[in-house]
Amino acid sequence: MGKQFEDPSSHDHLSGHNSPPGSDLELPPCVFSTGRRIGILWNLPRQDRDWWYEWHCSCISTRINDAMRTFLSKTKLMSARQCMKRLHLEIHRPELKVISPATEAAFETGHRVGAVAQQIYGTDDAVFIPYEGGLSQALKKTVRLVKGGPRFPIFEATFQYDGVLVRVDALIPDGDGWQIVEVKASTSVKEEHSFDCAVQSWVFQGMGHKLNGIALAYVDNSFVYRGDNNYEGLLIKENMADDVEQLLPIVPESIQEARDTVAGAEPAIAVGQHCFDPYECPFVSHCWPSDSDYPVQGLAGSKAKLAEFVLEGYRDIRDVPASRLTVKQQWIQKVTASGKPELLAGARRSMADLAYPRYYLDFETIMPPVPIWADTRPYQTLPFQWSCHVELAPGKMDHAEFLDLSGDPPMRRLAESLVRALGRDGPILTYTAYEKRVINGLIERFPDLQRPLAAIVERLVDLAPVARQFYYHPDMHGSWSLKHVLPTIAADMQYQELTGIQEGTAASEGYLEAIDANTTGERKAELKKQLLRYCKFDTEALVRLVKFLGQ
């Protein structure tokens, strides 16, 4: 992800503070357009002024009638590339942004990959430009290193040209010039990466620096980590020069369009697939209409199709013509209009076929982009915990669990404990096919356990298709995820009432924190308690679901 979360434009100083953290630059009052801020005006200390002009950094007069430029970062330009309305909201209405746990985890993923990139591309003399010292210091230090000598790899080199700010993941000496390396946590080159690189190239060359190459480094998910902190081979470096050359001519017009957007009123851009492509916009909850009890996005299905309904003026599930809906959507609409949940008879028949003992199983896993254990690959699904409720007979319940916080690879012990706990007979109930994929991964890793683990796979019963086929409640709003289903069948069970860890992404992050050597014993004990409670809660939910479906 290239440390996008460290982009200065996303820091607090762009939300009303007087200066960047630790900066010697004071921010004057913002310029307003239609009552809203259109940009940050930099009022430079006198000693910095000549240097700032020389290096084309954004010095904007506090006088409204003077020539003004809107301060833009590369990240803001990428937002504009997705949707100009998103850019406008990021500048003027940042308080409307909703950052999901998954997005936060993606930022952390980018940070981890970026740290390893510095290890791979760095030398003993490499320099990291911290932002904590302030934007002015980062810009000054970067210029000194690029223009001076000797030359070393520079990480987070900071440049500003014509009002556009970029921080370069890795700037590598290359002959008589430099090579820019943009680091991404993805496992392939994506369309949006080309424009990302083009903006950096435009800024760098606009300042008069010699660029001899530009590349994108991304994760090779076939790389097998051998241990000893050796990550050579983790990243694939792909030449982006041709793509950048094609895009460079449109960069200035894209910048101007972004400036015009920021300076104007909020664009009247309708919702659509672009709200989720290439990334889910943090303003989705603001832009998609929610002024009814049952917004149309609760119909589920194609986002593009749902956007069509919104454009046509439909705001509520119940108002869309049934002839425009799929069979599943018609059912959602019918149940929603009735105001009452519907449980079809097929659910009871499916549950009646389940013999005893019944095992209710849930895993927690990590998928680290940077492997932490030998003989693992980037983004490989690695289980570290399981919970299993065992219903020996109707109403006779037992519970078993596994969690290893030693920091050693837990997969072998987890697999062996699973074989012991699940016995040889009885259905093993899960929600979605995720547990099946996890166990198949264990079979691949431990061939000697293939027979007992394969026998477990044969006993798995996925409850999710049963729920989707036979049950719907208006309050599920088109989602059959367990977290949406559970409150409608067991009002006393609420994930949000759990302390700390309340969903899978947080469980993964909590585990990684717990095994970190810098985590205190007290914090580790608290995380252990939260992890055990969360995973057990998931299997309790399965027990309640089976009871409900079988009534």
Kindly state whether residue 30 falls inside one of the protein's structural domains: no
CB 185 within 8 A of CB 113: yes
Domain boundary among 298, 320, 340: 340
For 394-536, list the strands marked E by DSSP. Answer: 396-403, 428-430, 460-462, 471-472
Residue-range definition of the domain harbouring residue 334: 288-340
% pLDDT > 70, the chain: 87
Residue 65 has pLDDT above 80, yes or no: no
DSSP string, 176-220: TEEEEEEE-SSSS--HHHHHHHHHHHHHHHHTT--EEEEEEEEE-
Query: Can you tell me which residue has the tokens 């991404």?
Result: 184
What pTM does this model have?
0.84
Closest to 255 (Cα-Cα) out of 97, 87, 92, 93: 87
Per the prediction, the chain carries an average pLDDT of 88
Same domain, yes or no: 512 and 433? yes
Residue 36 has pLDDT above 80, yes or no: no
Cis peptide, bond prior to residue 368, ω within 30 of zero: no
Mean pLDDT of the 454-481 span: 98
Cα four-point dihedral sign 17, 18, 19, 21: negative
pLDDT confidence of residue 207: 97
Q: What does the block give as tokens for 186?
A: 């993805």
Same domain, yes or no: 336 and 346? no
Kindly state whether residue 216 falls inside one of the protein's structural domains: yes
Same domain, yes or no: 471 and 517? yes
Kindly state whether residue 471 falls inside one of the protein's structural domains: yes
Same domain, yes or no: 305 and 346? no
Report pLDDT digits (tens) over 8-34: 333 333 333 333 333 333 333 332 222
Domain boundary among 253, 274, 306: 253
Kindly state whether residue 33 falls inside one of the protein's structural domains: no
Same domain, yes or no: 140 and 241? yes
pLDDT confidence of residue 391: 98
Band of pLDDT at residue 132, cut at 50, 70 and 90: confident
Mean pLDDT of the 196-206 span: 99
Tally of structural domains, the chain: 3
Kindly state whether residue 96 falls inside one of the protein's structural domains: no
Pairing of strands 72-73, 164-174: parallel
Q: Is 308 left (phi over 0), alpha (psi -120 to 50) or beta?
A: alpha
Q: What does the block give as tokens for 160?
A: 């500003």
Mean pLDDT of the 286-312 span: 93
Mean pLDDT of the 136-142 span: 94
Rounded Cα distance, 348 and 341, in Å: 15
Rounded Cα distance, 382 and 34, in Å: 52
Distance from CA of residue 541 to its chain's centroid?
A: 26
Domain boundary among 340, 358, 379: 340
Same domain, yes or no: 309 and 232? no
pLDDT confidence of residue 165: 96
Residue 413, CA distances (Å) to 198, 384, 407, 442 in order: 48, 9, 13, 11
pLDDT confidence of residue 50: 37
pLDDT confidence of residue 1: 36
Kindly state whether residue 85 falls inside one of the protein's structural domains: no
Q: Which residues pair with 496 in a beta bridge?
A: none
Please indicate whether residue 300 or residue 178 has the higher confidence score (pLDDT). 178
pLDDT confidence of residue 14: 30
Rounded Cα distance, 180 and 200, in Å: 8
Distance from CA of residue 212 to its chain's centroid?
A: 33
Rounded Cα distance, 78 and 196, in Å: 7
Same domain, yes or no: 188 and 209? yes
| Burial group, residue 103, by CB count within 10 angstroms (0-12, 13-18, 19+) | middle
Which residues does 287 contact at the CB level (< 8 Å), separation at least 6? 85, 271, 275, 281
Q: Is 163 left (phi over 0), alpha (psi -120 to 50) or beta?
A: left
Band of pLDDT at residue 241, cut at 50, 70 and 90: very high
Q: Given strand 358-366, what is the order of strands in its sheet?
A: 396-403, 382-393, 358-366, 428-430, 460-462
Q: What does the block give as tokens for 331?
A: 């059912």
Query: Can you tell me which residue has the tokens 């729920």?
Result: 467
Count CB neighbours of 16 within 10 A.
Answer: 10
Mean pLDDT of the 55-63 span: 32
Report pLDDT digits (tens) over 78-115: 999 999 999 999 999 999 999 988 889 899 999 999 99
Same domain, yes or no: 157 and 124? yes
Q: Give the CATH number for residue 207.
A: 3.40.91
Residue 61 has pLDDT above 70, yes or no: no
Count CB neighbours of 364 within 10 A.
Answer: 22
DSSP string, 223-234: --B-STT--TTS
Q: Which residues pair with 398 in a beta bridge?
A: 390
Mean pLDDT of the 350-370 span: 98
Same domain, yes or no: 422 and 532? yes
Same domain, yes or no: 423 and 492? yes
DSSP 8-state class, residue 63: S
Amino acid identity, residue 461? V
Cα four-point dihedral sign 473, 474, 475, 476: positive
Count CB neighbours of 274 within 10 A.
Answer: 18
Same domain, yes or no: 359 and 447? yes
DSSP string, 373-419: STTB-TT--EEEEEEEEEEEETTEEEEEEEE--SSS--HHHHHHHHH
Q: Give the CATH number for residue 519.
A: 3.30.420
Band of pLDDT at residue 71, cut at 50, 70 and 90: low
Kindly state whether residue 534 falls inside one of the protein's structural domains: yes
